């Protein structure tokens, strides 16, 4: 079942699996290819008043990696990993299917009835560079939303259905745009050319939590004497004071939410969470599992510093690399109005795209990344060490923002 796989994923995240992803195959003993499988994802949305029904057939390419220490992992590539459609206003809706490669369906109980896939509205259907990701019910219910969610389900499918889907429904997402975001090695591997402007396949943000009584006491002790609204603890011990232990109770910033185990909330900030469907604000009971409650997500504009997005991302990126400013985090909080969203975007340092430098130290991004970075929340400077995109930002002695990056990509996936 999807939730069961979540547990496995977080258990193996510190095994040789991670080493393999990073390109270190010294641990690998053998690789076995298993038979693929297929499933159908149906999603019902309303975009600016118009019904948008998606009927996506996904192929799973499963590979088992066996390691020297006896461990093994399954790598599952989804095709399409993301599926997009152009809207009449020039924007695009992109759906990231959850992973259901073991026969899980809504009908057989392997998928919860309140399944919520990750949905992104990209500003420009031509580039798919910048998008607002709808991560939870909070986003769909927001006055800022252009989308309404009307349910999703997963059914079984076969190769004939997949072939028919591929012939009848062109994917707006191109292989060039999708793979360029992963760098020159990925472009070469998949035999495509680098896109001038890559797709925003990383969705960035910070999850905001209410400090517990004990944490508030620590915050009051560590809060700088000038009492900045947003601040960073000035030493590692201070940062550790806000690191919950496994199972410790945490609270979202929603007023009436109850305390919940830290692993149920923090697991929903992991990169691969889109594989399992996004968390619901009030999840329905499902197969006896304790289901995670949605954190309060907020989007991070990052190095682009502020909205609106640049009309020419490449030109703006090269300008930033040359002249700055170097911005780490730039949380678009708006006093809580943006709860439920993340921003999917490339990073300025990925430009120019598709270039391999014989001497990496000569890449245009080096000076930029080595310069001090300023962090912001709603344009207010975060007080403290000027490091790039800090793991956590404290708000007064009341709340804490914790960094997340959720990916649209899948291991060995394609479009």
Task: Among 105-109, 224-228, 358-362, 364-368, name the one with the lowest average pLDDT.
Answer: 358-362
Q: What tokens appear for 38 in the block?
A: 């297929």
pLDDT score for 318 = 95
Average pLDDT over residues 347-368: 92
Residue 136 main-chain phi, psi, to 5 deg: -145, 175
Query: Pick from 100, 154, 37, 140: which is nearest to 275 by CA?
Result: 100
* Residue 160: count of CB within 10 angstroms of its CB: 10
pLDDT score for 276 = 94
Residues facing residue 196 across a β-bridge: none
Helix, coil or strand: residue 338: coil
pLDDT score for 245 = 77
Per-residue pLDDT for 405 more than 70? Answer: yes
pLDDT score for 291 = 84
Residue 217: which region, alpha, beta or left (left: phi > 0; alpha: psi -120 to 50)?
Answer: alpha
pLDDT score for 72 = 64
Sheet strand arrangement including 374-377: 327-331, 374-377, 380-381
Strands 37-47 and 28-33: unpaired
Query: Pick from 130, 186, 213, 236: which is nearest to 353 by CA?
Result: 186
pLDDT score for 74 = 55
Query: Pick from 333, 374, 329, 360: which is nearest to 347 by CA?
Result: 329
pLDDT score for 26 = 47
Question: What is the chain's mean pLDDT, rounded?
Answer: 88
User: 335 or 69: which carries more pLDDT confidence?
Assistant: 335
User: 195 or 69: which carries more pLDDT confidence?
Assistant: 195
Helix %, strand %, coil % of the chain (to 5): 25, 30, 45
Q: How far apart are CA 37 and CA 20, in angstroms?
A: 24
pLDDT bin (cut points 50, 70, 90) of residue 36 is confident
pLDDT bin (cut points 50, 70, 90) of residue 105 is very high
Q: How far apart are CA 337 and CA 143, in angstroms?
A: 8
pLDDT score for 180 = 94
Q: How far apart are CA 163 and CA 178, in angstroms?
A: 21
pLDDT digits (tens, 9 = 90+) for 147-160: 999 999 999 999 99
pLDDT bin (cut points 50, 70, 90) of residue 63 is low
pLDDT score for 324 = 93
Tell me if 47 sits within 8 A of 74, measured CB to CB: no
Percent of the chain with pLDDT over 70: 87
Residues facing residue 341 across a β-bridge: 134
Cα angle 138, 288, 340 (rounded to 5 degrees) comes to: 10
pLDDT score for 4 = 36
Distances from the Cα of 271 to the Cα of 136, 243, 251, 405, angstroms? 16, 19, 21, 5
Query: Pick from 241, 237, 252: which is nearest to 206 by CA?
Result: 252
Per-residue pLDDT for 292 more than 90? Answer: no
Q: How far apart are CA 175 and CA 220, in angstroms?
A: 50
Tell me if 402 sits within 8 A of 266, measured CB to CB: yes
Cα angle 150, 272, 356 (rounded to 5 degrees) comes to: 120
């Amino acid at each position: 079942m999807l939730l069961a796989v979540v547990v496995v994923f977080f258990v193996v995240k510190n095994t040789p699996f991670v080493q393999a992803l990073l390109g270190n195959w010294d641990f690998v003993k053998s690789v076995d290819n298993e038979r693929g499988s297929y499933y159908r994802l149906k999603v019902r949305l309303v975009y600016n008043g118009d019904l948008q029904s998606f009927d996506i057939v996904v192929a799973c390419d499963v590979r088992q990696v066996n390691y020297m220490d006896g461990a093994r992992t399954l790598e599952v590539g989804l095709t399409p990993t993301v599926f997009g459609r152009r809207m009449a206003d020039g924007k695009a809706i992109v759906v990231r299917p959850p992973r259901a490669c073991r026969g899980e369906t809504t009908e057989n109980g392997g998928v919860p009835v309140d399944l919520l896939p990750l949905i992104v509205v990209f500003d420009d259907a031509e580039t798919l560079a910048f998008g607002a990701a709808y991560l939870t019910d909070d986003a769909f219910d927001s006055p800022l939303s252009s989308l309404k969610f009307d349910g999703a389900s997963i059914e079984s499918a076969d190769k004939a259905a997949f072939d028919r889907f591929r012939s009848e429904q062109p994917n707006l997402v191109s292989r060039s745009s999708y793979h360029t975001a992963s760098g020159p090695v990925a472009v070469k591997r998949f035999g495509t050319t680098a896109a001038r402007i890559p797709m925003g396949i990383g969705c960035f943000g910070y999850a905001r939590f209410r400090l517990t009584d004990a944490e508030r006491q620590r915050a009051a002790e560590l809060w700088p004497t000038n009492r900045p609204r947003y601040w960073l603890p000035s030493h590692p011990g201070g940062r550790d004071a806000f690191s919950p232990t496994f199972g410790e109770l945490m609270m979202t910033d929603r007023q009436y939410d109850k305390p919940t185990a830290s692993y149920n909330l923090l697991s929903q900030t992991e990169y691969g969470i889109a594989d399992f469907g996004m968390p619901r604000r009030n999840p329905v009971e499902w197969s006896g599992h304790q289901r995670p409650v949605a954190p309060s997500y907020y989007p991070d504009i990052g190095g682009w510093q502020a909205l609106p997005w640049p009309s020419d991302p490449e030109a703006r990126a090269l300008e930033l690399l040359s002249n700055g400013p170097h911005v780490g985090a730039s949380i678009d909080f708006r006093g809580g109005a943006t709860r439920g969203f993340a921003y999917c975007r490339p990073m300025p340092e990925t430009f120019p795209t598709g270039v391999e430098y014989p001497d990496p130290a000569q890449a245009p991004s080096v000076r930029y990344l080595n310069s001090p970075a300023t962090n912001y929340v709603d344009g207010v400077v975060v007080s403290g060490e000027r490091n790039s995109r800090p793991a956590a930002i404290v708000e007064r002695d009341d709340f804490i923002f914790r960094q997340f990056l959720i990916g649209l990509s899948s291991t060995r996936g394609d479009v």
